[in-house]
Structure formats: structure tokens, C-alpha cells
């Protein structure tokens, strides 16, 4: 896993989002040797759909997949946040340092597992007709 980017406060505007992408997207793809083959997932948050962001991704990202908003069952990052939240709650340390430590403990096997379970997630979403699933 690569480095987390922490955002001061709860507000992330288009300029900060674009800055995070420019500073980290290509660098992290190169660090894990997937620079020409990765798929960048993002939901339909308004700042993700802005022309300036889309233009940057068009020229700097091999493939962008847009997830529907309000469908956490299709958003793989929710599995990671759930794991981090559980591990942090266990230790009762909700500090930036602890979050970084837990982030580095996420293995590629875990990532492979949640990605390989995606077809199962999709089947559940279809079966539930977009209502919440057990995932």
C-alpha cells in the first residue's frame, strides 16, 4: 500500500482534489508498477465530475471508472475504510499516526480478495434491486 493523504477539516474543494491527484496518482501507480494498466475508481461526487478534473484524468490515467453515487455496495474503498475503522476502534487510538500504521498493514492479498468478490457484490446488488445488501 502507498501513502495516505490527509485532508485538514472536512471540506475538500476541486483545487485540493486536483492537487491530491497531481501529487499522488501517477507517483503511486509507478511505485507499485501499474502505471499503464490501473483503473481509477471514483463516484459521482460533483468535484470528481468537473471538467478540470476530467481533463487531468483523461491525459494522466489509463482508465477511469465512475461508480454510481449512493451505492456503497459497489465501492471497493468502503471495504478498506471498514477494515481501518475496526482496527483503529480495537486499539482506541484515532490518531493520524495510528491510521497510517493500519494503512500500511493492508496486504495485497486483502485487496485481491475484495476485488475478486466484486462479481458477488454485483449479483447481490442486482438481486436487491439497488436496495442495501449484506455487504
pLDDT attached to residue 113: 84
H or E segment to which residue 88 belongs: helix 77-91
At residue 23, φ and ψ (nearest 5 deg) are -80, -20
Q: Is the dihedral of CA 21, 24, 6, 108 positive or negative?
A: positive
pLDDT attached to residue 93: 53
| Helices and strands per DSSP (H, E), number in the chain | 6, 2
Q: What is the pLDDT along the chain (135 residues), one digit of tens a residue?
A: 567 777 777 778 888 889 999 998 888 888 888 878 888 888 777 888 889 999 999 998 888 877 766 666 667 777 777 887 777 666 655 566 677 777 888 888 888 888 888 788 778 777 877 667 765
pLDDT attached to residue 5: 78
pLDDT attached to residue 53: 92
Q: Which three cell numbers stand for residue 127?
A: 438481486
Amino acid at each position: 500500500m502507498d501513502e495516505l493523504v490527509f485532508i485538514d477539516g472536512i471540506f475538500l474543494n476541486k483545487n485540493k482534489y486536483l492537487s491530491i491527484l497531481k501529487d499522488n496518482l501517477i507517483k503511486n501507480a509507478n511505485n507499485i508498477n501499474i502505471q499503464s494498466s490501473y483503473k481509477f475508481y471514483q463516484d459521482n461526487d460533483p468535484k470528481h465530475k468537473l471538467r478540470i478534473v476530467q481533463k487531468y484524468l483523461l491525459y494522466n490515467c489509463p482508465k477511469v471508472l465512475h461508480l454510481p453515487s449512493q451505492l456503497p455496495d459497489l465501492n471497493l474503498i468502503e471495504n478498506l475504510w471498514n477494515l481501518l475503522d475496526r482496527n483503529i476502534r480495537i486499539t482506541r487510538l484515532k490518531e493520524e499516526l495510528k491510521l497510517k500504521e493500519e494503512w500500511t498493514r493492508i496486504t495485497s492479498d486483502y485487496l485481491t480478495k475484495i476485488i475478486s468478490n466484486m462479481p458477488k457484490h454485483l449479483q447481490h446488488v442486482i438481486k436487491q434491486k439497488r436496495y442495501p445488501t449484506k455487504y
